[in-house]
Amino acid sequence: MTLSSSPPPLELPPERISAFARARSLWQSAGMLALYVLLFIACSLLFPNFLSWYNMGSLAQLIIIVGIVSCGMLFCLAAADFDLSVGSVAAFSGIVAVVVVNHTNSVALGILGGLAAGAAVGLVNGFVVAALGINALIATLATMQIVRGLAYIASHNTSIGAIDTGGRFHILFGKAVLLHVPTPVWLMIGCFIVCGFLFHSTTFGRNTLAIGGNIEAARLAGVATARTKILVFTLQGTLAGLAGIVGASQSGLGDPHASIGLELQVIAACVLGGVSLTGGIGTILAVIAGTLIMGTVQNAMDLNGVDTNKQYLVSGGILLAAVLFDKLKQKWT
| Letter string b/e over residues 68-94, b meaning 16 or more CB atoms within 10 A of that residue's CB | bbbbbbbbbbbbbbbbbbbbbbbbbbb
DSSP H or E segment with residue 127: none
CB of 133 to other proteins, least distance (A): 15
Residue span binding other proteins (CB under 8 A) among the ranges 42-50, 178-186, 207-215, 232-240 = 207-215
CB of 271 to other proteins, least distance (A): 16
Give φ, ψ of 253 to 5 degrees.
-130, 145
Do residues 79 and 232 make contact, with C-beta atoms less than 8 angstroms apart? yes
- Residue type for 293, please? I
Single residue of 60, 204, 303, 314 touching other proteins by CB under 8 A: 204
Q: Is 9 in the site for other proteins (CB under 8 A)?
A: yes
Q: Is 51 in the site for other proteins (CB under 8 A)?
A: no
Footprint (CB under 8 A) of other proteins, residues 16-45 = 16-18, 20-21, 25
Q: Which is nearer to other proteins, 168 or 219 (CB)?
A: 219
Single residue of 85, 207, 228, 249 touching other proteins by CB under 8 A: 207
Give φ, ψ of 258 to 5 degrees.
-70, 155
Residue span binding other proteins (CB under 8 A) among the ranges 179-187, 195-203, 290-298, 318-326 = 195-203
Footprint (CB under 8 A) of other proteins, residues 255-294 = 280-281
Backbone dihedral region of 44: left (phi > 0), alpha (psi from -120 to 50 degrees) or beta?
alpha
Q: Are strands 177-178 and 181-182 parallel, antiparallel or unpaired?
A: antiparallel
Chain residues in the site for other proteins (CB under 8 A): 1, 3-10, 12-13, 15-18, 20-21, 25, 200-207, 209-210, 213-214, 216-224, 280-281
